Chain A
């Protein structure tokens, strides 16, 4: 290690072998990955990891082939349309390949060992109540914080790897906590936690970006997540195995929900569609909505196959999953009703546990409550300083927890629509002067 630090200039290459992680990867990252990455994959080649580099693309394994392309021995010379690599950079690549092209990528530590220190409250993407109502789980940065609804400060901090947690779910028995998220443009992750021991029992990595809008099947055996590769994936909670990879969306999938019997999933996303899919075989059934704006949130009625969806066009739409008549073109017969247009983009939706109320939250920093049967507005929860990303009813339906961009968790009395408690879920420490 000391040798590497000292050998930054081009001295004594013979004595120093270039490594993948510290020497080769930065060159590929800067000059090659714009085109050769999972999102674009020119020539079917992905140069973002050692494994994909070794696997190669249309022309076969990229080791040692890439040398010929960067030197121009093979055409087109790479980087295509850009400045050719400098001699010292080519020397690094050659040196590494000649020395056996070893992979020295360090194993990224699975989780933090110490809780992160905050000088600003992180954006909160998820809050969830435990089924017994004794816990509120709040997303932090690379951790999940467990709070007592009446307590002060976190009782437990579940340290994980993902920078961002987009969804937190509890199994019905309250024994397992499932978190889904990831680190943007790096990886997606589903974490399974044992609530008794507060230990992570499983980390499932999937895709190269965060996953969104996780939901549990009613029998708690499966979890569905939306992905940035436009797929909807269904995982087995017990084994972590991917059961389905469902490719029907045309853009990122941002939220999911299972039907009552667990055999169907509705997913929404940036392609504006709410797609009904057979969860048992991944088959597309139909779009249940007319395409309007991008969709970011969906919630299902607790006892019926009715869903409310919302997003960019600021209007919550209440749909039935089953079509009463044979579908015709531009048919919106599944629509039960539209709720009023919101003051901002919709980002979070929730039904009260008895299904009588719908909570709508979004970019405008206000939660509005509606009567499910009439669609009438029955209240508004105010006090947020910025957009709300998550809203959750307590299991008894008496309280509503919200959180979002401003980093505070707020608990409201649902009937009175009154703020009963507000707290920062993380301890703040003043940032030391630079």
Chain B
């Protein structure tokens, strides 16, 4: 029970002036003064015995804390000016948080006047902010250095409006492009794009901002557009005065697309065949794409990605179930199972994990809240974890929603199966387990966001069916978008929204039209992942060179050229097998099993793969796969036993070529094609020939050459 009514209002005072309320007048001051910030009283445990809600998301709580806590300690009704809540921020008494505002400042007077007139809470039906409006829907600056004030207007539930520029918080997601000072003035620093996040009393709005290249003389040189992806990317580039790069060479393309679709670079034979193939680039490449997608290794490569996301690991599932889950994933990819169907199978799975491997999905988390966090992050791209303790500071998600969404998983129970190591997913009778931490009461499940056609949620029984239907619906605004964005990132190294699993209003897409069009196409095609992949890799944007021109060299977000990406651990390992002709032999699996065919991170643990960032599948975050470069990696490539053994393999590529009597040209070309996926330039060839002739052992010389090639950036990167 809460008492949020004014107790003592002295009406005589209010003539000619509006009554100040906590909700409308005081809370914004407390937020702006920083009292509710994370390092201060907004911390989970408060500060120095005084706790407020983080950034004031719970005004009722803050009202009670200020007025009622410790028997009204912070409030002095008899002499409001002596209230602790005024003495602290003005430093009349020692305050660890320092001076927040001056005595007799505007903020001081607002709080004092509010206290004097009975300290009413206000009426949420009237005083709550329902919408923010910003002076412009989009900020466009012709050149860096320009400034502009951003004005914010709050719209209240009763229809009133107020200019809240002074109390609104405005921040830029890229301060080195545009910064916003304390007076809400945008100061542009350099060309580029940023998003401004404007927040006020729990409401927020994001506003895109563009600073044009100040350089003169831009003329748009149109390039061929292979599909709608290129149209939509070009439309934005043209507006921003960014000239996209042209196509990568056929050899570059084949290496890139092979690594991205089947996880391994082309063999010298495949490369020679592709380079010799007649026809225009577009058709020829489209044909190669179709052929690659039919290969068994296509399934291997995508199984690694889904294995990561679904955390397929014997650490959670045991030996046998890991292989079973892997088979389920492989089947889903090989049969191009519609994505919505695949997710529904996972979400509604039950029974024995051995017999129905999809049930392994739940065996990793084992708990409603974790199941919810993972489901929302993987399938909706939404991170709910902040909302466990408080309303999400930068999003619409509330703490209530965290528990409401978790409640869908309350009935999931796991018990030992009939076979050793098996577990059975069953539905618990007592399904009222998810309790709200504040009230201690059972929380009823509720969808995260209303969408058309969502089924009614049953009172009891398995609510996961309803959840799965809502989640995978074409009307769900997150589901399709999240996977489209995630898939895109696999081909460009960056999502249209990035990070891919952090979709929120304050993290807007760099090209909304593109994401929308891809999503629409994906949904219309019945959640067809293969179609989506084909659309992306057939675009000119995907096939573009990594070489930049003077107009796009600074662009790293609009896909105006491709970006080199370090090979993943598995790609690197398997590319080494291609380059050296050495055969893989991992423990516990048959000979010739490639790195990308391994079931889980248990195999080959602590070896080459882990050094190069193979994830342990401890989380469903894409970020767990490390793609950085480290000194131990460099040392391993230079000196490591794995590389030396593979290069010196007596049954490897070099040995075979020499035994077969290969000429210098053949030998050198094969080594270049196998490692860098291209032929040597004449200068490189001349160097190599001279090098091979020095010394007595031609084989040892060839090995040195190959060693140099696999240590080059051209080998280590997908480019």
Interface residues, chain A, with chain B CB atoms under 8 Å away = 29-30, 33-35, 37-40, 48, 82, 116, 118-123, 125, 140-142, 163-164, 166, 183-186, 210, 228, 251-252, 254, 270, 296, 343-344, 347, 363-365, 385-387, 389, 404-407, 426, 430-431, 433-434
How far apart are A424's CB and chain B's nearest CB, in angstroms? 10
Closest B residue, CB atoms, query A79: B98
Closest B residue, CB atoms, query A186: B93
Q: Which of B3-11, B138-146, B706-714 contacts A (4 or more CB under 8 A)?
A: B3-11
Q: Contacts A29-B91, A141-B76; is A386 near B13 (CB within 8 Å)?
A: no
Pair A251/B49 contact, Cβ less than 8 Å: yes
- Kindly state the separation between the CA atoms of A184 and B64 in the bound complex, as whole angstroms: 18
Pair B3/A39 contact, Cβ less than 8 Å: no
Q: Contacts A34-B98, A184-B73; is A405 near B1 (CB within 8 Å)?
A: no
Residues of B within 8 A of A183 (CB): 82
Residues of A within 8 A of B82 (CB): 163, 183
B95 interfacial by beta-carbon distance below 8 Å: yes
Pair A125/B72 contact, Cβ less than 8 Å: yes
Pair B95/A270 contact, Cβ less than 8 Å: no
Residues of A within 8 A of B116 (CB): 120, 431
Closest B residue, CB atoms, query A210: B73
How far apart are A213's CB and chain B's nearest CB, in angstroms? 10
B118 interfacial by beta-carbon distance below 8 Å: yes
B513 interfacial by beta-carbon distance below 8 Å: no
Pair B75/A123 contact, Cβ less than 8 Å: yes
CB contacts between A and B, total, < 8 Å: 114
Segment 343-366 of B: residues with Cβ below 8 Å from A: none
- Kindly state the separation between the CA atoms of A30 and B93 in the bound complex, as whole angstroms: 9
Residues of A within 8 A of B48 (CB): 39
- Kindly state the separation between the CA atoms of A29 and B90 in the bound complex, as whole angstroms: 10
How far apart are A60's CB and chain B's nearest CB, in angstroms? 22
B96 interfacial by beta-carbon distance below 8 Å: yes
| A–B pairs, 16, beta carbons within 8 Å | A29-B91, A29-B94, A33-B91, A33-B94, A34-B95, A40-B96, A120-B8, A125-B72, A141-B76, A184-B74, A251-B49, A296-B70, A385-B5, A389-B71, A430-B10, A431-B116
How far apart are B249's CB and chain A's nearest CB, in angstroms? 55
How far apart are A35's CB and chain B's nearest CB, in angstroms? 7
B667 interfacial by beta-carbon distance below 8 Å: no
Pair B96/A405 contact, Cβ less than 8 Å: no
How far apart are A210's CB and chain B's nearest CB, in angstroms? 7
Pair B97/A140 contact, Cβ less than 8 Å: no
Pick from A30, A228, A252, A343 the residue with the most CB of B within 10 Å: A30
How far apart are A110's CB and chain B's nearest CB, in angstroms? 17
B700 interfacial by beta-carbon distance below 8 Å: no
Q: Contacts A39-B94, A118-B78, A163-B76; is A365 near B1 (CB within 8 Å)?
A: yes
Residue in A39, A48, A116, A387 whose beta carbon sits within 8 Å of that of B79 in the complex: A116
How far apart are B71's CB and chain A's nearest CB, in angstroms? 4
How far apart are A180's CB and chain B's nearest CB, in angstroms? 13
Interface residues, chain B, with chain A CB atoms under 8 Å away = 1, 3, 5, 7-8, 10, 12-13, 48-49, 64, 67-68, 70-79, 82, 84, 87-88, 91-99, 116, 118
Pair B7/A431 contact, Cβ less than 8 Å: no
Closest B residue, CB atoms, query A116: B78
Closest A residue, CB atoms, query B96: A34
Pair B49/A407 contact, Cβ less than 8 Å: no
Pair B71/A347 contact, Cβ less than 8 Å: yes
Q: Contacts A120-B77, A185-B84, A431-B13; is A37 near B1 (CB within 8 Å)?
A: no
Pair B78/A141 contact, Cβ less than 8 Å: yes
How far apart are A5's CB and chain B's nearest CB, in angstroms? 17
Residue in B70, B72, B78, B94 whose beta carbon sits within 8 Å of that of A37 in the complex: B94
Pair A35/B77 contact, Cβ less than 8 Å: no
How far apart are A194's CB and chain B's nearest CB, in angstroms? 25
Residue in A34, A119, A270, A405 whose beta carbon sits within 8 Å of that of B10 in the complex: A119
Pair B49/A270 contact, Cβ less than 8 Å: yes
Closest B residue, CB atoms, query A252: B49
How far apart are B617's CB and chain A's nearest CB, in angstroms? 36
- Kindly state the separation between the CA atoms of A347 and B71 in the bound complex, as whole angstroms: 8
Residues of A within 8 A of B68 (CB): 363, 386-387, 405
- Kindly state the separation between the CA atoms of A405 and B118 in the bound complex, as whole angstroms: 12
How far apart are B86's CB and chain A's nearest CB, in angstroms? 11
With A38-B94, A185-B93 already in contact, 8 other A-B pairs whose C-beta atoms are closer than 8 Å: A33-B94, A48-B94, A142-B78, A186-B93, A254-B70, A270-B49, A365-B1, A386-B7
- Kindly state the separation between the CA atoms of A118 and B64 in the bound complex, as whole angstroms: 23
- Kindly state the separation between the CA atoms of A387 and B95 in the bound complex, as whole angstroms: 27
- Kindly state the separation between the CA atoms of A166 and B73 in the bound complex, as whole angstroms: 10
How far apart are B480's CB and chain A's nearest CB, in angstroms? 45
- Kindly state the separation between the CA atoms of A399 and B535 in the bound complex, as whole angstroms: 82
Q: Contacts A121-B77, A387-B3; is A434 near B13 (CB within 8 Å)?
A: yes
Residues of B within 8 A of A119 (CB): 10
Closest B residue, CB atoms, query A26: B91
How far apart are B37's CB and chain A's nearest CB, in angstroms? 15
Residues of B within 8 A of A116 (CB): 78-79
- Kindly state the separation between the CA atoms of A119 and B118 in the bound complex, as whole angstroms: 10
How far apart are A344's CB and chain B's nearest CB, in angstroms? 6
Pair B12/A433 contact, Cβ less than 8 Å: yes
Pair A122/B78 contact, Cβ less than 8 Å: yes
Pair A120/B118 contact, Cβ less than 8 Å: yes
How far apart are A30's CB and chain B's nearest CB, in angstroms? 5
Pair A121/B84 contact, Cβ less than 8 Å: no
Residues of A within 8 A of B78 (CB): 116, 118, 120, 122, 140-142, 426
- Kindly state the separation between the CA atoms of A270 and B73 in the bound complex, as whole angstroms: 15
Closest A residue, CB atoms, query B88: A185
Pair A123/B118 contact, Cβ less than 8 Å: no
Q: Contacts A270-B49, A385-B7; is A123 near B95 (CB within 8 Å)?
A: no
Residue in B7, B10, B74, B93 whose beta carbon sits within 8 Å of that of A407 in the complex: B7
Q: Contacts A39-B48, A116-B78, A185-B88; is A125 near B71 (CB within 8 Å)?
A: yes
Q: Contacts A121-B8, A364-B1, A406-B7; is A185 near B71 (CB within 8 Å)?
A: no
Residues of A within 8 A of B87 (CB): 184-185
Residues of A within 8 A of B92 (CB): 29
- Kindly state the separation between the CA atoms of A401 and B559 in the bound complex, as whole angstroms: 74
Residue in A34, A38, A121, A385 whose beta carbon sits within 8 Å of that of B3 in the complex: A385
Pair B67/A405 contact, Cβ less than 8 Å: yes
Closest B residue, CB atoms, query A119: B10
- Kindly state the separation between the CA atoms of A404 and B3 in the bound complex, as whole angstroms: 13
Residue in A33, A123, A186 whose beta carbon sits within 8 Å of that of B77 in the complex: A123
- Kindly state the separation between the CA atoms of A405 and B48 in the bound complex, as whole angstroms: 23
Pair A433/B13 contact, Cβ less than 8 Å: yes
How far apart are B65's CB and chain A's nearest CB, in angstroms? 12
- Kindly state the separation between the CA atoms of A270 and B76 in the bound complex, as whole angstroms: 22
Residues of B within 8 A of A39 (CB): 48, 94, 96
* 6 tightest A-B CB contacts, nearest first: A141-B78, A37-B94, A185-B93, A123-B72, A122-B78, A33-B94
Closest A residue, CB atoms, query B4: A386
- Kindly state the separation between the CA atoms of A404 and B77 in the bound complex, as whole angstroms: 12
- Kindly state the separation between the CA atoms of A92 and B3 in the bound complex, as whole angstroms: 49
Pair B7/A34 contact, Cβ less than 8 Å: no
Residues of A within 8 A of B49 (CB): 228, 251-252, 270
Residues of B within 8 A of A37 (CB): 94, 96
Residues of A within 8 A of B5 (CB): 385
Residues of A within 8 A of B91 (CB): 29-30, 33-34
How far apart are A177's CB and chain B's nearest CB, in angstroms? 20
- Kindly state the separation between the CA atoms of A405 and B69 in the bound complex, as whole angstroms: 10
Residues of A within 8 A of B76 (CB): 122, 141, 163-164
How far apart are B349's CB and chain A's nearest CB, in angstroms? 38
Pair B72/A141 contact, Cβ less than 8 Å: no
Residues of A within 8 A of B7 (CB): 385-386, 405-407
Pair B72/A33 contact, Cβ less than 8 Å: no
Pick from A141, A184, A254, A434 the residue with the most CB of B within 10 Å: A184
- Kindly state the separation between the CA atoms of A283 and B84 in the bound complex, as whole angstroms: 34
Residues of A within 8 A of B8 (CB): 120-121, 407
Residues of B within 8 A of A35 (CB): 96
- Kindly state the separation between the CA atoms of A35 and B96 in the bound complex, as whole angstroms: 6
